Each structure stands twice: as C-alpha cells, then as structure tokens.
Amino acid sequence: MDPLIASGAADIAAQAEAQLESLVGVSSPSGDLDGAERAISLCEEMLPAGATVGRVPCSTPGSAPDLLASIAGRGSRRVLLLGHLDTVVEHGSHAPLRRDGDRLYGTGTADMKGGVVLALGVARALATHPDRFAELSVLLVTDEEWRTAEFSHVSRFPGYDACLCFEAGELTPDQHEAVIVRRKAAGTLRVGATGRASHSGSAPDRGRNALLGLARIALDVASHHQPDGPEHLSVVPTIIRSGDAFNVVPASGELLFDLRADGVHSFEPVLTAVPSELNGVSVEARLERRWPGMDTRDLTREVLERASARLGRPVVGVARGGASDASHFAVTIPLTLDGLGPRGGGAHTPEEFVLAGSLKERAEVALALVTQVLDPGML
C-alpha cells in the first residue's frame, strides 16, 4: 500500500469515531436551522488549518446556508469532496451514537455523517501535501434528503477534474471494496385532486370523491412500472392524503409517486398518463425533484484499476438505485465517484449503523482514489 494512504488512513481512523459521535450527537433533520448550524460548526473544526471557509446559499429556500471550504495547493488538478449533513429522522426519534460490538448505531451514521467525517479526514490528509493538487474543495449541503428545487451548486466548480461523494460504502458479493459509478435518475410525481364535498350518509352521490379518483390514478399510473424493461423504470405510489372527516365525501387530496429510471426522459410518459379529470374530479399533476442519472463506468475504469494497485486490494465500481448529489455533478464533472463512506446499513431507520472497522478501511479506499485522480498523468 502507498505509504501516504496507510499513514493518512491511520490518522483519520484515530479520530473518526470520536468525531462521528459528536456529529451524530447533533440532531439535524432537513430544514432545521439550529441543527444544521451546530453540525456545520463541528465540521469547521474538523477542516484542515488554513482552509478558506465560506457559506453559500442552499438550493432549498429557508434552509441553512451550505458549507463550502477550499484549500489551495501547488499542483495541477482540482477535486471536489461532497457530502450532506441533513437526516430524515425528526428530533423526537433522534438517537445519539452507541456502540454494540463493531456496530456504531445512531441517526445519520451511514447517511451520511460517517461519510462526512471521512471526507473531512481526507481533506486534512491532502492538505499536508499541497504539491499534489491545485485546489481542494469540500461542499457539505443541508438539504439533500428533502430537496425538490433545482440543485444550485453545479456551476460553482467549472473545470474540476474529479468529484468524490461520500455516501455509504459497501462490499461486492466477492468481498471487494465497492464504489458507486452508476445511479438511476429520480423523480417525484405529485398529483392533486379536487372534487366536491357532501354528506357521506344522506347525500353520498352529490359529492365528487377525490379519494376514489386518486385511488384509480394510483392503480393506473403504477401499471407503468417496468423495472426489468429497457429503461428500468420503477413507478411506486408512496403517499396518499385525502379526507378530513369519516362522514364526509372527501373534496380534495394528494398522491405522490417515487419514480426511478436510467434517465429522466423516462418520466414524461408517466406524467402524461395522469388524466386531467376523472368522474367529475379535476386532477393536476406535476413532476418534482428531477435528479439526473449517473453513469461513469467507462471514465472511471482506469482510475479504479490504478487505485486498486495503490491500495493493494481491488476497488470495484457498482450500481445503486438510491439518488445522490453526485449525480448532479456527474453531468459536468465526468470523473465522478460515489459511495466512498464507511460501510453500514439501516439508513433512514432507527437501526442505522456503520461498522467501526470500516472507518479505516474506507479511509484507505478514499485516499487511494483521491491520490489517483490527482495524478497529473490521469486523463
């Protein structure tokens, strides 16, 4: 193993568990300003000395500004380290870090405060070798888990050579280190229905039942679900809300679908399949949260091969269905890799965890990849 990788990973691992405990100790659900500010304050303390630290507007109005830090070097290549600080778990269900064997349980450990700790550790390790890079940037956003607005940061990094995102890591079935080189596009289809209220006992047929309309649309639109089709399209109804009283024909309601496919163009036929009217109920549909797909398999193949040699064990590119901000940057920074965080599981659940032993192992993977993409000989 490259000595820089070994020593850098050892230094990162020596601090990682304590840093993770402090960061997970802060409850920071999407949209919570106090939690975001406290988490960002901790992250600023973990940045390398001499970093230029700034706050930039978040993509989601009303959210805490995102953290953008940069370190200037004397090399020739520029790299972005990417992560997010928000979680999906509200304050009342937040769980601080606790250890059970090799498992470190806690809210956001895997998604993705464990990855943030590693990203900041990589930044510190690289900062001691300024000859290896021209500019190193760290972007930590506060709205990844609930954003429906357009992502606002892609244009901030023109000409960057690589983007490395620290969502949770994994092993292949052959127990090789895996990083993500392919993700599906993601979208949210929101359907609103407006009918007419009436007494469900004395005058049920005078009403126009929004709930029945939404139920029919849920079944009809879900029939477009073709995960094994040419575009690997999934159409999943996830939320339905309608009605205010048990004895009133519901006059309004809302239905949401989660859409995934190889590309966002596959979502348009799903949108057009929603009728504008159904049995006297007016319907309005719109597509939100259009996140692009990501496919960097060809451009990252050589990087993974060379990084594997630096590391002394294989690093393999894999696909994952979940969405990530890495997909936005892959459009303009072709050399984008994701899934560099520690290994774990249970994301978005009370049993979320990372494996303590993977903190050092995945720090080694991240350092092998970042030193490789910063190699001046890398195309």
237 domain residue, yes or no = yes
pLDDT tens digits for range 3-21: 789 999 999 999 999 999 9
109 domain residue, yes or no = yes
Same structural domain, 168 and 209: no
State percent of the chain over pLDDT 90.
96
Helix, strand or coil, per DSSP, at residue 75: coil
Same structural domain, 179 and 35: yes
Same structural domain, 129 and 170: yes
Instruction: With cut-offs at 50, 70 and 90, classify the pLDDT of residue 379.
Output: low
Amino acid 271: pLDDT? 97
Same structural domain, 236 and 154: no
Q: Is there a contact between 350 and 344 (Cβ–Cβ < 8 Å)?
A: no
Same structural domain, 281 and 321: no
pLDDT tens digits for range 75-110: 999 999 999 999 999 999 999 999 999 999 999 999
Look at residue 35 and tell me whether its pLDDT is greater than 80: yes
Q: What is the mean pLDDT of residues 48-56?
A: 97
Look at residue 378 and tell me whether its pLDDT is greater than 70: no
Same structural domain, 141 and 38: yes
Same structural domain, 238 and 137: no
Distance CA 177, CA 306 (A): 14
Same structural domain, 227 and 350: no
379 domain residue, yes or no = no
56 domain residue, yes or no = yes
* Alpha-carbon distances of 235 from 46, 89, 152, 221, 291, rounded to whole Å: 41, 25, 27, 8, 15
Same structural domain, 51 and 147: yes
Instruction: With cut-offs at 50, 70 and 90, classify the pLDDT of residue 321.
Output: confident
Same structural domain, 213 and 136: no
Q: Give burial (CB, 10 Å; 0-12/13-18/19+) of 247.
A: exposed
**For the domain that residue 38 is a member of, what is the CATH number?**
3.40.630.10
**For the domain that residue 199 is a member of, what is the CATH number?**
3.30.70.360
378 domain residue, yes or no = no
Q: Which of 268, 291, 314 is the last residue of a domain?
A: 291
Angle at 348 between CA 347 and CA 351, to 5 degrees: 65
What the block records as the tokens of 100 is 């059970």
Per the structure, the complete domain to which residue 240 belongs is given by 185-291
Query: Number of folded domains in the chain?
Result: 2
Output the average pLDDT for the chain: 96
Q: What is the mean pLDDT of residues 214-219?
A: 98
Instruction: With cut-offs at 50, 70 and 90, classify the pLDDT of residue 322.
Output: confident
149 domain residue, yes or no = yes
Same structural domain, 141 and 200: no
Amino acid 135: pLDDT? 97
Q: Which of 260, 291, 322 is the last residue of a domain?
A: 291
pLDDT tens digits for range 238-289: 999 999 999 999 999 999 999 999 999 999 999 999 999 999 999 999 999 8
Strand order in the sheet with 78-84: 52-56, 66-72, 135-141, 78-84, 162-165, 336-337
Beta bridge partners of 99: 104
Same structural domain, 60 and 163: yes
23 domain residue, yes or no = yes
Stated as kind and residue range, the H or E segment containing 138 is strand 135-141
Q: Which of 261, 291, 321 is the last residue of a domain?
A: 291
250 domain residue, yes or no = yes
